[in-house]
Amino acid sequence: MKKLLTKILAISSIGLLLLPSCKKDETRVVSNVGKAGTLTASSTTPVLTRETAANVAVTFSWPATSVTGYAAPVSYTLQIDTKGSSFKSTKLVEVALTGQTQTYTVGALNAILLGMNLSYDNTTDLEARVRSTVAANSISYTNVLTLTVKPYKLASYVYVPGAYQGWSPSTADSLKSPNSDGLFDGYIAFTPGNLEFKITPKKVWDVAYGDAGSGKVSTSGGNLSVPSAGLYELHLDLNALTFTATKQIWAVIGDATPGGWSDDTDMTYDASTKTYSVTVALIGGKQFKFRFNHAWDVNLGGSTSSLTQNGSNIDVAVSGTYKIVLDANANTFSITKQ
């Protein structure tokens, strides 16, 4: 009996010791975000151009959002989306911020707009707001601002409709200006008998540049043309209205070839396979290489699976007629005795 009483008293003492702890566990620390202030922008119609990329396009400002209860830090997020999408479209941009201002240069804002795939040709209305958060279920939003914007292209293009592809601007190959500075370059493969073309700024015939003579182009000029079929590097300068077309020629040269080491044997370009080929009589026990545009500045040698600049001469074991096919993009070639 005495032992039982002792156990009861001991258990009661433990319970009294635990009681304050149970009361402490019921204490809750709560933070609530207050009403967000008014979001303002230094401009709601920023003009974006490549020339002003380093200038300030817009500065967003908003007051600090109040917090009641525990003084937890507030996280701010700038949200930008197309107007009328309720900030739920696939174009939604969210940027985590610190402080109560956010400034974007023209270039930085343009990069955001390019990521949203907005139109280059027409203005787009966007909506912006700031979200204030102290906990997952404690969120407040500022007012919504409307921004009217039109991004500029980092790169621009012109198009080359011609006989080689059916005179269709909508499906024509293009020339690219990486810096949108009016200088365009690209490669076009012209097929036999289909050597004439024009250049259009858009994929329609509204404006077309043609041959104005003496390497010049104009919107009133006739058809441009190249002298023979093959792959050409085209260069257009819309600032000076000048144009050049340089044929891309690969050839075989060497003492195994008909011209020896002093005269190239040109290869023919195949636009469908993007390879060059030639069927030629070669001399056994001799050598050859591939040479670009009849100069040694670019020449390839080595093995069928690995051609390199200034590579070793290629041996011909047995005399005969061979078909040689060069893939200058992959730096490989094949050689087949006929």
Task: Answer yes or no: do 140 and 47 share one domain.
Answer: yes
Instruction: Measure Cα distances from 331 to 234, 264, 305, 334 in Å.
Output: 23, 19, 7, 11
- Percent pLDDT > 70 in the chain is 89
Looking up tokens 């907005």 gives: 118
| Total number of domains constituting the chain | 3
Q: Is 26 inside a domain boundary? A: no
Q: Is 130 inside a domain boundary? A: yes
Instruction: Measure Cα distances from 182 to 158, 177, 209, 216 in Å.
Output: 10, 7, 14, 15
At 7 the pLDDT is 47
Q: Give the mean pLDDT of 186-193.
A: 96
CATH of the domain at 100: 2.60.40.10
- The domain boundary, picked from 205, 226, 247, lies at 247
pLDDT at 15 over 50: no
pLDDT at 5 over 60: no
Task: Answer yes or no: do 40 and 106 share one domain.
Answer: yes
Could you read off the pLDDT of 297-319 as tens digits, one per residue? 999 999 999 999 999 999 999 99
Total number of residues shown for the chain:
338
- The domain boundary, picked from 229, 247, 265, lies at 247
Looking up tokens 């993007």 gives: 274
At 19 the pLDDT is 44
DSSP code string of 272-330? TTTEEEEEEEE-TT-EEEEEETTEEEEEEEEETTEEEETPPPEE--S-EEEEEEEETTT
Q: Is 242 inside a domain boundary? A: yes
DSSP code string of 127-172? EEEEEEEEETTEEEE-PPEEEEE----SSEEEEE-BGGGTS-GGG-
Q: Which domain does 286 fall in, by range?
A: 250-337
Could you read off the pLDDT of 17-46 as tens digits, one per residue? 444 444 444 445 566 777 888 999 999 999
Residues 229-266, buried b or exposed e (16+ Cβ, 10 A)? Answer: bbbbebebbbeebebebebebbbbbbbbbeeeeeebbb
Dig out the tokens for 237 from the structure: 């300068």
CA 24 to chain centre: 59
Could you read off the pLDDT of 50-98 as tens digits, one per residue? 889 899 999 999 998 888 876 678 888 999 999 999 999 999 999 998 8
Task: Answer yes or no: do 42 and 136 share one domain.
Answer: yes
Query: How many whole angstroms separate alpha carbon 135 and alpha carbon 132?
Result: 9
At 135 the pLDDT is 64
Task: Answer yes or no: do 179 and 214 share one domain.
Answer: yes
Region class of 211: left (phi > 0), else alpha (psi between -120 and 50), else beta? beta
At 28 the pLDDT is 52
What is the C-alpha R_g of the chain?
36
Task: Answer yes or no: do 226 and 177 share one domain.
Answer: yes
Could you read off the pLDDT of 270-293 as tens digits, one per residue? 989 999 999 999 999 999 999 999
- The domain boundary, picked from 247, 270, 294, lies at 247
pLDDT at 141 over 50: yes
pLDDT at 202 over 80: yes
CATH of the domain at 236: 2.60.40.3620
- Percent pLDDT > 90 in the chain is 76
Among candidate residues 173, 141, 140, the one with its CA nearest the CA of residue 158: 173
pLDDT at 162 over 60: yes
Q: Is 88 inside a domain boundary? A: yes
Query: How many whole angstroms separate alpha carbon 241 and alpha carbon 228?
Result: 23
Question: Are the C-beta atoms of 128 and 80 separated by less than 8 Å?
Answer: yes
- Lowest-confidence range among 113-117, 135-139, 142-146? 135-139
Mean residue pLDDT across the chain: 90
